[in-house]
Amino acid sequence: MVALHVPAIMAVERRAYEFPWTEGVFRDCLRAGYSGWVLLGRSDALLGYAVLTMAVGEAHVLNVCVAPEHQRRGYGGVLMHHLLDIARAHAVGTVFLEVRRSNGPAIALYSQLGFHPIGERRGYYPDDGRREDALVYALELTAGGR
Ligand SMILES: CC(C)(COP(=O)(O)OP(=O)(O)OC[C@H]1O[C@@H](n2cnc3c(N)ncnc32)[C@H](O)[C@@H]1OP(=O)(O)O)[C@@H](O)C(=O)NCCC(=O)NCCS
């Protein structure tokens, strides 16, 4: 992911999330040197993207998103497997992520990859005047494992 991708990313982000990241957040992630990836299809159409941070043996998935019209075709799995490969290559031991309690598709994807719930953050996400809890998931990476 490079700055040139951000306009196309924002077009997907706004359609995929009720509370999308701003363009500034993506630009800050790139400036900070986070591990950002885009999945491109024919004619370089943006199918999806993902952002990971890594530090001292831990990684955090900050965003993984597939364009609504391309969902349920395995691309979310491709992006997540790629992030896990990157994390493993950086000797990460544990990968963490937060997900809205109501986000069934994402929870199903993470569970299928072996992530397990380790806690929750109350009122972590905005939700129309109220706040929604985040579930915190983790996956331990082993040298030859998933
Ligand atoms: C979550 C998301 C990235 C999944 O991407 P995807 O490309 O549709 O997922 P895949 O096709 O790779 O599906 C992999 C597995 O995830 C689960 N899954 C994905 N979408 C699902 C759905 N709508 N309902 C139930 N399970 C689902 C299934 O277990 C699926 O495996 P299967 O196809 O063998 O049943 C996608 O729904 C998305 O971009 N959502 C909006 C953004 C978002 O919420 N991101 C996560 C923030 S924490």
The CATH number of residue 126's host domain is 3.40.630.30
Enumerate the H helices of 46-103 as residue ranges. Answer: 75-89
Q: Whose CA is closest to 109, among 78, 140, 133, 88?
A: 78
Q: Whose CA is closest to 99, among 122, 67, 128, 133?
A: 133
Determine if ligand 1 sits within 6 Å of the CB of residue 108: yes
Query: Which atom of ligand 1 sits closest to the CA of residue 63?
Result: 47
Per-residue pLDDT of the chain (146 residues; tens, 9 = 90+): 999 999 999 999 999 999 999 999 999 999 999 999 999 999 999 999 999 999 999 999 999 999 999 999 999 999 999 999 999 999 999 999 999 999 999 999 999 999 999 999 999 998 888 899 999 999 999 865 55
Is 105 part of a structural domain of the chain?
Answer: yes
What's the Cα-to-Cα distance from 94 to each of 82, 99, 128, rounded to whole Å? 15, 16, 33
Is 145 part of a structural domain of the chain?
Answer: no
- Does 98 qualify as catalytic in the annotation? yes
Q: Residue 22 has what pLDDT? A: 98
Is 146 part of a structural domain of the chain?
Answer: no
Give the domain extent around 76. Answer: 3-140
Q: Residue 145 has what pLDDT? A: 52
Q: Whose CA is closest to 46, among 100, 98, 82, 10?
A: 10
